[in-house]
Structure 1
Amino acid sequence: MRVFKPFFVEVRLPYSAVRGEDLEVSLAVFNYVPGGDAVAADLAIDLPEELELAGGNATVRVQVPHGEAAGATVRLRPTGLGTLRFRVSARAVGVAGLEDVMERALLVRAEGFEVRETRNLVLELSEAAPFASHAVSLPVPGGVVDGSVRGSVSVVGDIMGPTIQGLERLLRIPSGCGEQNMISLAPNVHVGQYLASVGRLRPDVRRRITNNMIIGYGRQLTYRHSDGSFSAFGKQDREGSTWLTAFVLKTFAEVHASGLVAVDASVLSAAAKWLVSLQGRQGAFAARGSVIHQEMMGGVGGDADRSALTSYVAAALAQARRDVAGLHAEGLDAAL
């Protein structure tokens, strides 16, 4: 079923304008009145004080053939800022009740370019001091466009609030090679840990995280070597990667600790055993294999940076020893 007015007005204007500029606005009235006759109509535009008529007439009479439209163009010049609303009406001449009115809004921006300044502060409240105040001074620089100064206040009860807004956007279904899979899996673990710790882990988000963990865990096992190590393309690679295996060990240990997904302790034990076997007499861990996605390494200087690699492997081993009760890797305690 098609429903529409037989007599209506339409306004075409840009979404926004700069204060002081002239802009063209098209006004049109449509005639679909039964009977097939042309209609004479008065088009009128009613403007607020901060929106001037810079060209054309505020009221114009047009002849509208049946089944067609007729209209006029006016030029408007905004003198204020913000959202300016105006009305356009069309009334048929000599036909009672045949009219239409439309209200439109124009967003007016200040001339020049925007400059923002932010002040952050922490108000500590307690039972002994349930109220606190702090004066903030934000000086206005010279040359500011008149009327463009504005301010806002945002209050967050959780100090981590601004940082973790939109965390759920980080929850992705793991996919890709062994490195890409882990890069997608790890945020699911960390987001789940944080939301659970602050009591914000909703049931639907919990299910989503759990499903992503199951997919990521199962997929990563396909990139596992027989010696317990992992690499970007699994057995297609000549050997496992020290960086990736440590990443897998640390993340799998966190998945195990979450209690959401069952992780085979023997997989973690084999990975830990392989990493321990790479430790030299001086305590450093040897860099084996390659890393395609350098961002996985946290921005360090590459496999040649033995100090960073050793620190990362040691942290992964320590995490696994703490979180996985069934972890068995000969030499693990000595390695740490």
Structure 2
Amino acid sequence: MPRPVRPFYDDIYQSSSLRPDIGPAIPYVGPTRPPLAGPYAFSRIPRPRVNIPRIFFSDMKKVPAPTWIFVNASTGYDGRTSIRKTVPDSITSWIISGFSLDPVYGLGVMEAPLTLKVFRPFFISINIPYSVVKGESVGVQVLVHNYMNRDVSAEVTLDNSDNQFYFTQDENEIESKLELFRTERVVVKSNSVNSVTFLITPKQLGTVDLHAKAASRQAGDEIIKPLLVKPPGQPQYLNTAAFLDLRSGRSDSVNITAKFPAKRVPESDFVKVSVVADILGPTLSNLDKLIELPTGCGEQNMINFVPDIIVLEYLQTSRQLTEPIREKAVKFLETGYQRELSYKHDDGSFSAFGKSDSSGSTWLTAFVVRAFISAKPHIYIDKGMWR
């Protein structure tokens, strides 16, 4: 911490260069910059606002956040202050760093950050797969961690008060039972981990919250973990696109009717609506994947040649073109151009198999000439091709 400033007139008088010829000393506030710094160093940094800390909290059990607390506080004359906060319910380590600003000594930074370890001697965790299919059984493994200096006998309970799943006694049991909870007792040695497994069968689609508890005379803990239940069968996707034109007004609307197959799995319907302010928006994330090497006959070669031109021009116009993508696209265009020349007839026309065909194709020739004109800004094209 920087040394405090003693705003006493005697000290100020001895240290200040602003001394009047006669009369008492003039109260002088030290410059807001470190010694020997530039004339404007830290001159515009305001002092911390007293008793108005800025704190950002996050639900650490659901989404761990990179920052737990950011506090702006003022110290006393001794340069010390205390901040009391309750650590989040998460077993992890926090890195603490800080800096300070002083009117005279300027900026002070910690030499090395400190580490705060958050630990619990008794807690539980749930080990489950990411997702299961509705109707199949899954084992919910509840791990009991005991880091106390004594053995613990705990009762582990899996709650089902919302009737979201069935309990299954074992893997060979055909009929499942609907119970509100099931409890198992487990003995956990000191500084060790033991587990209990509950076999369940989800009865509904979507997210099922698994609520497990562990209780003993010495300690207890509980946890809630979601389990994704997917419908059986193979997913089918139906896409309906609509164009909204805002050039003539500030709003536009369109009606879209969702149609589902008649033999679909019950309760598996899902509708997703997305709006993109770009006609090519859905392909922007993987637009470079559309650049492929032209191969095949005269017609197949142009199937990949033309998309390479369109992607290259779009990325260049939207200022998203990178040098590796440009080099790849230009190389493929040059290869496709040379390959297409092998399917050219003596009269200047093109066909699918070149001179192996009796005559050229009018449609393919027009398409090739148009594509070559579009590719001319990017690669070398012989001017005599369309003369």
Are 1:38 and 2:161 an aligned pair?
A: no
Residue type of the partner of 2:213? S
- Displacement after TM superposition at 1:194 (Å): 0.5
Letter in 2 for 1:38: D
Deviation at 1:74, TM superposition (A): 1.4
Q: What is the CA distance between 1:147 and its match in structure 2?
A: 2.1
Write the deviation string for residues 184-220 of structure 1: whole angstroms up to 9, x where unpaired.
99977653410233xx314xx444445x36x966x99
1:188–1:209 contact (8 Å) kept in structure 2: no
**Cα RMSD between the aligned structures?**
4.4
* d(CA) in 2 for partners of 1:146, 1:31: 44
Aligned AA (2:360): S
Task: Give yes or no for the alignment of 1:158 onto 2:253.
Answer: no
Q: 1:103 to 1:301 in 2, by over 3 A?
A: farther
SS in 2 for 1:103: strand
SS of equivalent to 1:76:
strand
Determine if contact 2:134/2:231 at 8 Å carries over to the other structure: yes
2:154 is the alignment partner of 1:59? no
Which residue of 132, 137, 148 maps to 2:252? 132
1:171 to 1:208, Cα distance in 2 relative to 1, 3 A: farther
Tell me how far apart the structure 2 counterparts of residues 67 and 58 of structure 1 sit (CA, whole Å). Answer: 26
Q: Deviations over 1:272-317 (max 9, x none)?
A: xxx9xx863x4447x9xxxxxxxxxxxx456635636855764576
1:62 Cα deviation from its structure 2 partner: 1.6
- Residue 201 in structure 1 maps to residue 319 in structure 2: yes
Q: Distance in 1 between matches of 2:240 and 2:273?
A: 10
Secondary structure at the counterpart of residue 101 of structure 1: strand
Residue 226 of structure 2 corresponds to residue 105 of structure 1? yes
CA contact 2:208–2:226 (8 Å) conserved in 1: yes
Task: Supply the distance in 2 between the matched residues of 1:23 and 1:328 (Cα, whole angstroms).
Answer: 66
User: Structure 2 stretches of 5 or more lacking a match?
Assistant: 1-92, 94-116, 170-180, 294-302
Q: Could you give the per-residue CA deviations for residues 139-182 of structure 1, whole angstroms, max 9, x where no partner exists?
A: 4443443322221222223223234442144579x9xxxxxxxx
2:162 partner letter: E
Which of 94, 102, 110 is 2:217 aligned to? 94
Q: Which has the higher helix share?
A: 1
User: Can you give the 5+ residue segments of structure 1 that lack an aligned partner in the other structure?
Assistant: 175-182, 221-229, 233-240, 248-274, 288-299
Question: In structure 1, how many angstroms separate the alpha carbons of the residues matched to 2:316 and 2:368?
Answer: 27
Deviations 1:76-100 (A, max 9, x none): 2212211112222323x222xx333
The answer to whether residue 200 in structure 2 is matched with residue 76 in structure 1 is: yes
Matched, 1:8 2:123: yes
Q: Partner amino acid for 1:201?
A: R
Q: Is the alpha carbon distance of 1:189 and 1:5 closer, same or farther for their aligned partners in structure 2, counting shifts above 3 Å?
A: farther
Following superposition, the deviation at residue 49 of structure 1 comes to 1.7
What is the CA-CA distance between 1:30 and the residue it aligns to?
A: 2.5
Residue 85 of structure 1 corresponds to: 209
Distance 2:269 2:304 in 1: 42
Give, in angstroms, the shift of residue 75 of structure 1.
2.0
Name the amino acid aligned to 1:71: S
Q: Distance in 2 between matches of 1:117 and 1:313?
A: 34
- Whether contact under 8 Å (1:15, 1:106) holds in the other structure is yes
2:356 corresponds to: 304
TM-score (norm. length: structure 1): 0.56
Aligned letter for 2:280? Answer: M
Could you say what secondary structure the match of 1:193 adopts?
helix
User: Does the 8 Å contact 1:52/1:77 carry over to 2?
Assistant: yes
Q: What secondary structure is seen at the aligned counterpart in 1 of 2:242?
A: coil
Asked if structure 2 preserves the Cα contact closer than 8 Å seen for 1:171 and 1:188, the reply is yes
CA distance in structure 2 between the aligned counterparts of 1:319 and 1:19, rounded to whole angstroms: 53
Return closer, same or farther for 1:209/1:301 CA change in 2, 3 Å cut-off.
same
Distance 1:30-1:328 versus aligned 2 partners, 3 A rule: closer
Measure the CA separation in 2 of the matches of 1:104 and 1:52: 14
CA contact (8 A) 2:168 2:201 kept: no
Q: 1:11 & 1:119 partners in 2: Cα distance?
A: 40
Query: Does the Cα contact within 8 Å between 1:189 and 1:209 map onto a contact in 2?
Result: no
3-state SS of 1:191 partner: helix
Structure 1 pair 206–22 and aligned structure 2 pair: CA distance change class (3 A): closer
3-state SS of 1:244 partner: helix
Deviation digits for residues 28-87 of structure 1 (CA, Å, limit 9, x no counterpart): 313232x3x211112122336252341366222221122433332212221221111222
Which of these residues, 227, 236, 241, is aligned with residue 120 of structure 1? Answer: 241
Match of 2:67 in 1: none
Q: Residue 269 of structure 2 aligns to a residue in which SS? A: coil
Q: Structure 1's 185 and 208: CA in aligned 2 closer, same or farther, altered over 3 A?
A: farther
One-letter amino acid matched to 2:134: R
C-alpha distance 72-53 of structure 1, shift in aligned 2 (>3 A)? farther
> Matches of 2:250 and 2:196 in 1, distance apart?
62
TM (norm. structure 2) is 0.50
Tell me if structure 1 keeps the 8 A contact 2:122–2:147. Answer: yes
For residues 248-267 of structure 1, what are the structure 2 equivalents within 5 Å?
none
Contact 1:48-1:86 at 8 Å conserved across structures: no
